[in-house]
Amino acid sequence: MPVLYLIPVPVADDALHTLPARTIEIAQHLDTFIVERAKTARHFLKAAGIKRPLPEVEVTEIDDKDPIVASRALQSAFRSGKDVGLLSEAGCPGVADPGALVVEQAHQLGMRVQPLTGPSSILLALMAAGMNGQQFVFHGYLSPKRPELLRDLRRLEQAAERLDQTQIFIETPYRSKMVLEVALDALQPGTKFCIAQDITGANEMIRSLTIAQWKANPVSIQEKAPAVFLIYKKSGR
Amino acid sequence: MPVLYLIPVPVADDALHTLPARTIEIAQHLDTFIVERAKTARHFLKAAGIKRPLPEVEVTEIDDKDPIVASRALQSAFRSGKDVGLLSEAGCPGVADPGALVVEQAHQLGMRVQPLTGPSSILLALMAAGMNGQQFVFHGYLSPKRPELLRDLRRLEQAAERLDQTQIFIETPYRSKMVLEVALDALQPGTKFCIAQDITGANEMIRSLTIAQWKANPVSIQEKAPAVFLIYKKSGR
C-alpha cells in the first residue's frame, strides 16, 4: 500500500540538525512531493541530500484556491502505487498549514499515513513555557488590529483561567513587538505570558514570566524572528 | 548561564531513530537529570549512550506530592552552574507530564530553557489525522466511566463544530477499545474520528474516518498500545 509520509522541515535557518536521521532518509528516497511552497521545498530537499537530480523530482504545490491540483497529484501517485512526501514551508505538515486537506484525502483513498518526527515551533514553545502542558489550545492567528487584539488577549486570559488551559497563538514576525505591547496593556499582573522567538535558531529567545515581571524587566524583542505566544493564568492566582 | 534542556524520549519501543542526533548528543553529555520516572530515564540514557557510568549520573524523580525534591535539585544545579536535562517517561517533557513545574521554576531562577526536538504522540497524531491543524485543543484524559465519557465525547463534538477546533484526548491503553465503542455510540455519522495507536512503533495504526465509515468498516484495535484520539466536525457537515 502506498504511503503518505508527513515530513517535518526545520523551523530555523540551517537547523537540519533538528531532524532525526530517519526523517531525512525518507525525504532523500522519495521522488513525489506535495508541498506548501515549491521554492522552499526544493531548497530543503537539496539541503537534505535528495538522491535524484531535482529536475526529476515531482513537486506539486498546494493551492488553497484550487485544491484540486494537489488532490489530482495525490490520486495519480496512489494509482501508480507511489509513496508521496508532504512538506510544510516550515515545521510539521498538517499543523498550522494547508497540508491537512491532503492528509484527509489520503485516508479517504485508503493510503497509509505515516507522520515523521521533527520540529514544531508550537510544541517546542509549549514545552518551554512551563505553563499547563496537560491542557492547551492553539488558536492560530489572532486579530492584527490593536483594539481587537486587546479584546482577543483578554478573552484568552479568561479562558486560560476558567478552563485551566494554556492558550497558544502565533503572529507574523514584524508584529511581535506590537503583540508584546498590547499584551502588557491587556493582561493582569499575575498572568503568565511567554514569547518564544526563533526556536531552534541561532537567536532563540524564550521568556516566560508574569506580566508584572515583564513590566519590571523590559526587554527588546527581535523584530524579524518568527514567534509563538502563550498565555496562562491559574485560577485563583 | 546554566541551561535546562528539555529532552524528548521515544514514544515507542526501540524508536531511538525518532530522535535527532543533536538531542541524543546533549543527553549523552549531561550528568544531572530531573525526570518523570527514574527507571525509564536510566534505561533511556543507557540506550542513548550516555558518556558517564550511570551510577555517577544524578537522576532526581519529580514527585507530584512532594515537588520540593525536584525543586531543590534544580536550584542546587543552578547554583553550581550546572546544565540539567529534563526527561519525560515518553515523549516531550512539559507536555502531558509533570515536567512543566520544573520549567516554570527554571524561568523564575533565570536559567535558559532550551527545548529539543523529538517525538510527541499528540503532535504526530494531529499531523496524521487530517483534521483542523489551524486550531486544536488538547484535553488530556476524559472520564474513564461510560456514561460520563459519552457525555464528554458529545461535548467535544459540539465544541469541534462550534469553535472549528480539532479535539484531542488520550486514554490508558487498556481502555482504547471501550473509547471506540462509546465514540461509535455517542457521535454523529458525519463526525470525523481518528485513533492513532503505537505511533512511530512497529504496530503503528492510524485511522481517520467518519463515524459512518468506522461503522461500515469495523476493525479490531490493539488492546495494549498507547493511543491518541481526535474528533472533528466541520460546521454544516
Per-residue pLDDT of chain A in tens (237 residues, 90 and over written 9): 899 999 999 999 889 999 999 999 999 999 999 999 999 999 999 999 999 999 999 999 999 888 899 999 999 999 999 999 999 999 999 999 999 999 999 999 999 999 999 999 999 999 999 999 999 999 999 999 999 999 999 999 999 999 999 999 999 999 999 999 999 999 999 999 999 999 999 999 999 999 999 999 988 888 889 999 999 998 764
Check residues B18 and B236 and name the one with the higher pLDDT.
Answer: B18
What does the pLDDT average to over B217-237?
Answer: 88
pLDDT above 70: percentage of residues in chain B: 99
pLDDT category at B4 given cuts 50, 70, 90 is: very high
Judged by CB atoms closer than 8 Å, whether chains meet at A165 and B20 is answered as no
Domain ranges in chain B?
A: 3-115, 121-232
> What pLDDT score was predicted for residue A14?
86
- Bridge partners of B219, per DSSP, are none
**Would you call A187 exposed, middle or buried from its count of C-beta atoms within 10 A (0-12, 13-18, 19+)?**
buried
- Bridge partners of B201, per DSSP, are none
Least CB-CB distance to A17: which of B22, B124, B139?
A: B22
Mark B34-61 as b/e (b = at least 16 C-beta within 10 Å): bbbbeeebbebbeebebeeeeeebebbb
* Range 141-170 of A in CB contact (< 8 A) with B: 165
Class of domain B3-115: alpha beta
The Cα of B191 is separated from the nearest Cα of chain A by a number of Å equal to: 13
> What pLDDT score was predicted for residue A205?
96
pLDDT category at B236 given cuts 50, 70, 90 is: low
Q: Residue A121: enclosing H or E segment and its boundaries?
A: helix A121-129
Query: Does the pLDDT at position B8 exceed 70?
Result: yes
pLDDT category at B122 given cuts 50, 70, 90 is: very high
Judged by CB atoms closer than 8 Å, whether chains meet at B127 and A103 is answered as yes
Judged by CB atoms closer than 8 Å, whether chains meet at B127 and A22 is answered as no
The verdict on B88 touching A (C-beta cutoff 8 Å) is no
pLDDT category at B223 given cuts 50, 70, 90 is: confident
Q: Which ranges in B86-232 belong to alpha helices (H)?
A: 100-109, 121-129, 146-163, 176-186, 211-216
Report d(CA B142, CA B151) in Å as an integer.
Answer: 10
| Rg of chain B on CA atoms, in Å | 20
> What pLDDT score was predicted for residue A236?
65
- What values do phi and psi take at A122, rounded to 5? -65, -50
Q: Which residues of A touch B137 (CB under 8 A)?
A: 135-138, 165
**Can you name the CATH fold of A121-232?**
3.30.950
pLDDT category at B5 given cuts 50, 70, 90 is: very high
The Cα of B18 is separated from the nearest Cα of chain A by a number of Å equal to: 6
**In the A/B pair of chains, how many CB contacts fall below 8 A?**
162
Report d(CA A146, CA A162) in Å as an integer.
Answer: 24
Tell me the residue type at B131: M
pLDDT above 90: percentage of residues in chain B: 91
The Cα of A220 is separated from the nearest Cα of chain B by a number of Å equal to: 17
Q: Which residues of B touch A114 (CB under 8 A)?
A: 128, 204, 206
Express each pLDDT in B67-120 by its tens digit: 899 999 999 999 999 999 999 999 999 999 999 999 999 999 999 999 999 999
Report how far apart, in Å, the C-alpha atoms of B27 and of each of A156, B32, B136 are: 36, 10, 31
Q: Note whether B70 and B101 are within 8 A (CB).
A: yes
Helix, strand or coil, per DSSP, at residue B232: strand
The verdict on A84 touching B (C-beta cutoff 8 Å) is no
Do B121-232 and B3-115 have the same topology in CATH? no
Q: Note whether A132 and B137 are within 8 A (CB).
A: no
The Cα of A134 is separated from the nearest Cα of chain B by a number of Å equal to: 4
> What pLDDT score was predicted for residue A163?
96
